[in-house]
Structures are given as structure tokens and as C-alpha cells.
Amino acid sequence: MRDELLELTGALKNHIISEKGSRDALYSNLYIKGNPVALSSAPVNATANNRVAHTPSITLEDIGKELGDCKRCKLHDKRNHIVFGEGSSTADLVFVGEAPGRDEDMQGKPFVGRAGKLLTDIIKAMGLERKDVYICNILKCRPPENRNPESDEIAACEPFLIKQLESIQPLVICAMGKFAAQTLLKTDTAISMLRGKFHSYHGIKLMPTYHPAYLLRNSGAKKQVWQDVQIIMEELK
């Protein structure tokens, strides 16, 4: 009996090591010498069954230190706070929005204004809390008057988001709105066409959906967001 038990724990240990290896290999695709790699080939192979402890090559804390008092783009000039992101450093689900707005810029936290309240409600409706997921944006500084992000700003900021995703190793990314979805997927396709199904972001399942701020103006789109969120919940079961 004792021998059988030992054999079983040994087999389990080997299984965990090989699963962990496949997950680490998946995430090692994200970088070549610290630079993001092209988004093409990686298969969608991060599944809920693949949920094992991960060992990030870089911590969120280190990424924050590297970002420092960032002056890499013109947005640093008028910002009050860098909005790095918040939540679980080992989250299975990461929400990515566009850029901080006024409330976020004042508080240094993502999604704390009206759109943020709606996102919090969506997270609760999924049976989760904000602390269970990770929330961040394509840009870490507020564009003046909430104008659209510009390509030089995205280029300066995106490497840090990629590193955050590399560190967290989520199973699913929810890209909220056109900017998040199009930036991460490197496409010009409309959000209305992208949403509703998983895409691959370096092998991580990425669900594009409408931005909560859009839902505040178009409550009819809540139904579609709920459909997208249910697909995510099914994946994370």
C-alpha cells in the first residue's frame, strides 16, 4: 500500500513537472532578449487544465522598478500618476483596457471611475472579485482629454504590458475595446467583428469585447459582453 502511494505521488509529480514545462515554454515565446516577438505562430494551448504553479522570469515589482518614473513618451508631461495595473500577480484572467481616464490618473489605479464601476460589476457577475483578476491598460498614462492613444505612445508602453503578461501568465486575456483588442492582436479589424470568440495572443486565449465605457453609452451591447464573459467563464471552469 505504501509503495503504491509512493508510486502514485511520483507519477503525479512527474505529470506536474511536464505540465509546468509546457506552460513555461508557452510563455517563453513572448520574448526574445527582452523584446516582444511577432504575434504569429504560437498555438492556443493554454487551457484551464494547464493550471499549475508558474515561475515568472520577472516579477511585477521588477517591471514596476524598470518602468520607474517613466518619461519614455510625451504623456509623462501632464500625468498625475502612472497607472501600472492592479490585482493578482498569478491571475488566470487579465483585463486589458485602453488608458487611464481622469479618476485613474488622480488615484493611480485602473478602472476606478464610472466605467470601472461597471467593470467591477461584470467581475462580480462572473463570481469573482477584483483581487482575483489583474486589471491594466495598453497605456499607463492618461492621454490629455482622454483622446485616443497615439502610435508612439503605444510603442513606448506596450513592452511593459507584454512583460506584465509574461509575469502573470494568465490563461485568458479579456481585451476591452477597440484599442486593446487591435493593439494586442495587431489587426485593424473592427471590435464588433473580433468579439465573441477567442483569438490567440502568443498561445494565450484572448477574448475581445466591448469597453465598459462603450456600455455606458450603449446599454444594448451589455448582452454581447455577457455572452463574451460567459465564454471566458466556461474556459476558466
Q: Smallest distance from the beta carbon of 25 to ligand URA, in angstroms?
A: 32
Q: Smallest distance from the beta carbon of 45 to ligand URA, in angstroms?
A: 29
List all residues 6 or more positions away from 46 whose beta carbon is below 8 Å from its beta carbon.
23, 26, 171, 203, 204, 205
Q: Smallest distance from the beta carbon of 116 to ligand URA, in angstroms?
A: 6
Q: Smallest distance from the beta carbon of 180 to ligand URA, in angstroms?
A: 7
Q: Smallest distance from the beta carbon of 141 to ligand URA, in angstroms?
A: 11
Nearer to ligand URA by C-beta: 24 or 158? 158
Nearer to ligand URA by C-beta: 110 or 208? 110
Residue nearest to ligand URA (CB): 97
Tell me the one-letter amino acid at 122: I
Q: Smallest distance from the beta carbon of 51 to ligand URA, in angstroms?
A: 27
Nearer to ligand URA by C-beta: 110 or 170? 110
Please give the residue ranges that form the binding site for ligand URA (CB under 6 A).
97-101, 104, 110-111, 113, 115-116, 137, 213
Nearer to ligand URA by C-beta: 31 or 214? 214
Nearer to ligand URA by C-beta: 46 or 96? 96
The span from the CA of 213 to the CA of 99, in Å, is 12
Cell of 33: 532578449
Nearer to ligand URA by C-beta: 100 or 208? 100
Sign of CA dihedral 219, 220, 225, 231: positive
Cell of 229: 464573459
Tell which residue, 150, 138, 142, has the closest CA to residue 101.
142
Instruction: Please give the full DSSP string across 193-222, using - where no structure is assigned.
Output: HHTTS-EEETTEEEEEE--HHHHHH-GGGH
Tell which residue, 42, 149, 53, 45, has the closest CA to residue 97.
149
